[in-house]
Chains A and B, each alone.
Chain A
Amino acid sequence: DTAVSQTPKYLVTQMGNDKSIKCEQNLGHDTMYWYKQDSKKFLKIMFSYNNKELIINETVPNRFSPKSPDKAHLNLHINSLELGDSAVYFCASSQGPGLEQYFGPGTRLTVT
C-alpha cells in the first residue's frame, strides 16, 4: 500500500539509449511532479502535471518527455541518454498546488 511508487529503483544504461521510469500514486491526488536530484543533493523540479495536463516544464531538454495516461500515473521517458543525466529522479504528488508533497523512493539512473 505504498503511497507513491516508482520503477525501477536502479537503472544503469549506456549513452545514447532510451529509457523510461514509471510512477504511480494511490492517494487520489490531482497533481504529480518529476524532480531531479544531482550528486550534490540539489533537488530541482522538472515537470508538474495537474489532472493529466502539463503545467510546469522547467527548461528541461526535449529528450525528456513526461506522459500522464491518467491522474494516478506519470511516467518519464528519456531519449538519447547522456552522462549528465545521471542522477536520482523522484516522482511526487500533492492534492493541489502549493500543498504538501508525497515523494516516491527515487530512481537512481546511471549513464555510462
Chain B
Amino acid sequence: SQQGEEDPQALSIQEGENATMNCSYKTSINNLQWYRQNSGRGLVHLILIRSNEREKHSGRLRVTLDTSKKSSSLLITASRAADTASYFCATDHSGTYKYIFGTGTRLKVLA
C-alpha cells in the first residue's frame, strides 16, 4: 500500500502541553503537507515543507522533515482544546497531481 503511516494513531494530552505526531512515507517526495480535520468537516491545510527544507514554523506549529529517514513530525506547542482534531500528512511525489495521505493521528486536548 502507498498509504503513509502516522503515529501515534491517537494522542490525548492536557491543555497547555505539547503534542507531537509523526509521519513516515515510502518514496521520494517533492513536498510534504500537514492538514487538520475537525470531526465531520473537510481538511484544512496547515503547513507545507519542501524536500530541500528541514524545518518550518507557523505560529504554534513546527514541522521537521528528514528525507533520509523518509519521515516528518508535527509539533503543536501550548495546545488548546480547539486543537482537538485529526491530523494528516500528505506527500506530493515529483509534482504530480497525486497526493498520498497518511493514516492520521487523532488528537484530543483535554481542558
Interface positions of A (Cβ within 8 A of B): 4, 31, 33, 40-45, 48, 50, 55-56, 58, 90, 92, 97-106
CB contacts (< 8 Å) of B43 on chain A: these are: 43, 90, 92, 101, 103
Residues of A with C-beta under 8 A to B41: 105-106
Q: Which 3 A-B pairs have the closest CB atoms?
A: A103-B42, A48-B97, A98-B92
Shortest Cβ distance from residue A54 to the other chain B in the assembled complex, whole angstroms: 10
A101 to B33, CA, bound (A): 9
Chain A residues, Cβ within 8 Å of B92 = 97-98
- B41 nearest in chain A by CB position: A105
Q: Which residues of A contact B104 (CB under 8 A)?
A: 41-43
Q: Which residues of B contact A99 (CB under 8 A)?
A: 48
- Beta-carbon contact of A56 and B88 below 8 Å: no
Q: Can you give 18 contacting A-B residue pairs, CB < 8 Å?
A: A33-B99, A41-B86, A41-B103, A42-B101, A42-B104, A43-B101, A50-B97, A56-B96, A56-B98, A90-B43, A97-B96, A98-B95, A99-B48, A100-B33, A100-B45, A101-B35, A103-B42, A106-B41
Residues in B neighbouring A45, C-beta threshold 8 A: 98-101
Chain B at the A interface: SS class: strand
* Bound-state Cα–Cα, A101 to B42, Å: 11
Interface residues on chain B, number (Cβ under 8 Å): 26
CA distance A31 to B44 in the complex (A): 17
- Contact B3–A4 (Cβ < 8 Å): no
Q: How many A-B residue pairs have CB under 8 A?
A: 66
A58, B98: Cβ atoms closer than 8 Å: yes
B97 and A55 within 8 A (CB): yes
**Chain B, residue nearest A105 (CB):** B42
Whether B101 contacts A44 by the Cβ 8 Å rule is yes
Q: B98 — nearest CB in chain A belongs to which residue?
A: A56
What is the CA–CA distance of A4 and B41 in the complex, to the nearest angstrom? 12
Pick the most buried of A48, A97, A106: most chain B CB atoms within 10 A of its CB: A97
Contact between chains at A56 and B97 (CB < 8 Å)? yes
Q: Beyond A41-B104, A48-B98, A103-B44, is A98–B31 a contact (Cβ under 8 Å)?
A: yes
Contacts of A31 in B (CB 8 A): 97
